[in-house]
Chains A and B, each alone.
Chain A
Amino acid sequence: MTSKLARSFAAVMALLATGIAGANQYNLQPPQSIIAREIYDLHSLIMWIILAIFVVVFGAMTYSIIAHRKSAGHKAEQFHENTTVEIVWTVIPFIILIGMAYPATKTVVSMKDTSNPDITIKATGYQWKWGYDYLQEGVSFYSSLATPRDQIDGGNAEGRKNNPNYLLEVDNPVVVPVGKKVRIITTANDVIHSWWVPALGIKQDAIPGFVRDTWFKVDKAGTYRGQCAELCGKDHGFMPIVVEAVEPEKYAAWVKDQQAKMAKAAVADDPAKSWSLADLKARGEKVYAANCVACHQATGMGVPGAFPALSGSKIVIGPKTDQIAMVLNGKAGTAMQSFKHLNDVEIAAVSTYLRNNWNNNSGEAVTPADVKALRK
């Protein structure tokens, strides 16, 4: 009996120990920042304590089940209290808990210390992508899922099988320098999202109308992947986060590159330029694909019951001002959020695109000046 017991305990322990010792699949991801490492160690410590309690408590229970059974001829004793024992098993857990709380407290305090960052990046949650603004560098971009739709929907299951980063890849990753303290400020445009990169040990909710912050410092160059962690609607599972940590020189070069790109885009989106309907429509198609397609769909037919069709929509083919106002301000209490973070050209372009695509043939262009006039 006892050898069988010992064997089953060994098996349970081995199972839990693999959990602790860490093949990637069974445990927290390998930590890549100080905080992540502290969390990892805290978790291991707690698991060892739990394992010890588990063995003592369920060892006793298993022994009792085997020894104190009627079929084994055991007669019941009738004791039903023992003050000493009861005090002991209230006090001991208490002491164990203090032992766990102490290191945890230190980590809580260091997680919260966002002072003196080298770089500050604002991460804004949108349904369903992330927007990033490097506050000192003036770099801004959006970051959306890069996994092709056909891999997700099953048209290309083969592609999915061969894609090691399925659902964890984006078009524009967040680039940060190794060894520098990066402060992330989170906020959101519509509902609550959560910015989470497991290997870096951070998860911070992004709350509309409020800003929160957290920080990390990456140990070594590499690509670290995470996902939005707060249910945020239909495509909650499809808004990953990718952080690329590079050497500081490479980072400086990347910043230059981004700044140049942005300057170019600003010239391309110059509202003073004369925009033809065809130009606007072409630009609008891109804006639509980046911002609207998740809800209103490529067909412009929306999702019945949830997101209205824009093809044939009264608002789209009605007066320009109503349509622009809808896109600029959104509609309170619905998933249609304000898109005022897009520039005048983008809003003019997407509005023109809507009015002249699918079954909508107004032949009318919305100009950047129209948009500008309606901005509050």
Chain B
Amino acid sequence: MEAAHAHAPGHDDHAHHPSGIMRWIQTTNHKDIGTLYLWFSFTMFMVGGVLALMLRVELFQPGLQVWRPEFFNQLTTMHGLIMVFGAIMPAFVGFANWQIPLMIGAPDMAFARMNNWSFWLLPPAALLLVISFFVPGGATAAGWTIYAPLSTQMGPGMDLAIFALHIMGASSIMGSINIVTTILNMRAPGMTLMKMPLFVWTWLITAYLLIAVMPVLAGAITMILTDRHFGTNFFNAAGGGDPVMFQHIFWFFGHPEVYILILPAFGIVSQIIPTFARKPLFGYVSMVYATSSIAILSFIVWAHHMFTTGMPATAQLFFMYATMLIAVPTGVKVFNWIATMWKGSMTFETPMLFSIGFVFVFSMGGFTGLVLAITPVDIQLQDTYYVVAHFHYVLVAGSLFAIFAGAYYWLPKWTGHMYNEVLGKWHFWLSMVFFNITFFPMHFTGLAGMPRRVPDYALQFADFNMISTVGAFGFGLAQLVFLWAVLKCISGGEKAAAQAWEGAEGLEWTVPSPAPYHTFETPPAVK
């Protein structure tokens, strides 16, 4: 411990690191890189958010008012790609960079230079996506799922998106290798696997998922690319290919991907609830097993996204049963969180509010997931707004709320200041209320038969769409409160103690706040 304290904060950036912009470009420090990831993610979140609001403006009332249908499709597609690959995934990698070394008592990530490279691949990829709006024909408009053969019809915007995905995929794989290596080799003496904080566990499993499926995505999009330009016929029926094969490959990546987007969120929430309940996490071991079984099951459920493609009954039944099975470990997690709260001594600071909000609203997404798992019901609801509601409940109220929870939770450690609780609470309540105003009505429009990815709709859906649009703008504005709270916290505020929260446990709370540039150069001892 002493060694870590001996370094004055910022010691190294003067000694052997360039300052100014070069510090950020050349940095190999896990904390700097974590910060870069988080700001990158927030920027992309804003870009994706603006695209979403552009969608909602068109959907405010029936008829085409603002955009042409072809541009509307570009907006839906790019909104999805940017949010999934630009906002949510990098945010979790940012958390991993900051927190994993601090939580396992390691001085840095295992491959510090590769870490720099993984991050700096992302801005060019994002740039490609944004530029694609300005090439002839505009950005790709084939949906974030880029189903063939629609994606083979697209203009050069599709090629740019493919390159961007390749680059982001490479970045994810490097990041994951780094995380796995760090966790397996650099834990402080005495920290056995079963003593690791749950956030570290969930990231270990997520990193394996990423390494397993990002190459599958890379394969799928490369086949699209060669179908487009080099005369192959992987997905072209006229040349002997099979369009449905693309969906199988895509969802073999895609379903584990949705767990990549949620497992680290489970980890964050599992750190926060015990802290504010002042009570150890209930069922640590079952949490680890539940996370692992979710990850394993996620490889055998992919075709629940394809029930309407017309599989044989046996295949539909297999994928229905497997999908339903995932609800069991997911349920176990929710029960464990509630049991952690049970008979605790709870306080409700912003991280806890977002975590409880997460448990509540994520579970609603889990319920609709269960509805969608039932093949006959899914066949009615597939490609309707019901699915849009489902995945926004799990991704916005799930992943994103957990990201906010984690940000407020660790901001004192990162900045050395407590954030402003009033702003945090405003952010939470505005987000929670407007989120539900935006997305709850989509269950109804989906059930009643409104297809997704349409720029215009029949009149019976008008009221709910108007409500959704109003909610979306409220939700968007609420995020400015977050930006304000973060900037305010960086620039000042009440000084944070090393252990910023009364009930917090873990190595990260043993180093001063803000965490010095170098920590744990001599490993701490873990009892």
Contacts and interface: CB of A to CB of B under 8 A. Distances in A.
**Chain B associates with chain A:** yes
A69 B345 contact: yes
Contacts of B242: 209-210
Given A86-B332, A108-B313, A205-B309, A97 B324 contact: yes
B243 A101 contact: no
Contacts of A69: 345-348
Nearest to B352: A65
Given A65-B346, A104-B375, 8 more contacts: A42-B376, A50-B371, A81-B282, A105-B317, A160-B62, A207-B243, A214-B310, A304-B136
Contacts of B379: 39, 111, 201-203
A185 to B, nearest CB: 10
Interface stretch (A23-31, A270-278, A341-349, A350-358): A23-31
Nearest to B367: A50
Given A76-B277, A208-B243, A97 B449 contact: no
12 contacts: A39-B380, A53-B367, A54-B363, A61-B356, A78-B279, A86-B286, A93-B328, A152-B63, A165-B458, A167-B62, A209-B236, A237-B456
B228 interface: yes
B375 A236 contact: no
A210 B376 contact: no
B52 interface: no
A57 interface: yes
Contact of B343 (A43, A76, A94, A304): A76
Contacts of B282: 79-81
B317 A306 contact: no
Nearest to A69: B346
B376 A108 contact: yes
B283 to A, nearest CB: 6
B425 interface: no
Given A50-B371, A190-B149, A209-B243, A234 B64 contact: no
A102 B242 CA distance: 33
B456 A207 contact: no
A298 B137 CA distance: 19
A121 to B, nearest CB: 16
Interface string B322-360: 001101100110110011111111111000000010011
Nearest to B449: A198
B208 to A, nearest CB: 23
B455 A192 contact: no
Nearest to B237: A209
Interface residues of A, number: 104
A257 interface: no
Interface string A182-201: 00001000111010101001
Interface string B368-381: 00110011110110
Contact of A207 (B281, B309, B344): B309
B121 to A, nearest CB: 29
Contacts of B316: 108, 112
Nearest to B459: A166
A74 interface: yes
Interface stretch (A224-232, A315-323, A360-368): A224-232
B457 interface: yes
Of listed A19, A157, A236, residue having the most chain B CB within 10 A: A236
Interface residues of B, number: 99
Given A39-B377, A78-B279, A228-B451, A89 B345 contact: no
Interface of B: 62-65, 68-70, 73, 136-138, 141-143, 147, 149-150, 152-153, 155, 227-229, 236-238, 242-244, 277-286, 308-310, 312-313, 316-317, 320-321, 324-325, 327-328, 331-332, 334-335, 338-348, 356, 359-360, 363, 367, 370-371, 374-377, 379-380, 382-384, 443-444, 447-449, 451, 453-460, 463-464
Of listed A77, A157, A231, A235, residue having the most chain B CB within 10 A: A231
Contact of B456 (A24, A90, A208, A238): A238
Contacts of A2: none
B321 A64 contact: no
Contacts of A208: 149, 237-238, 243
A97 B383 contact: no
Nearest to B147: A192
A210 B463 CA distance: 39
Contact of B342 (A47, A60, A304): A60
Of listed A43, A76, A212, residue having the most chain B CB within 10 A: A76
Contacts of A64: 338, 341-344, 346
A231 B376 contact: no
A305 B136 contact: yes
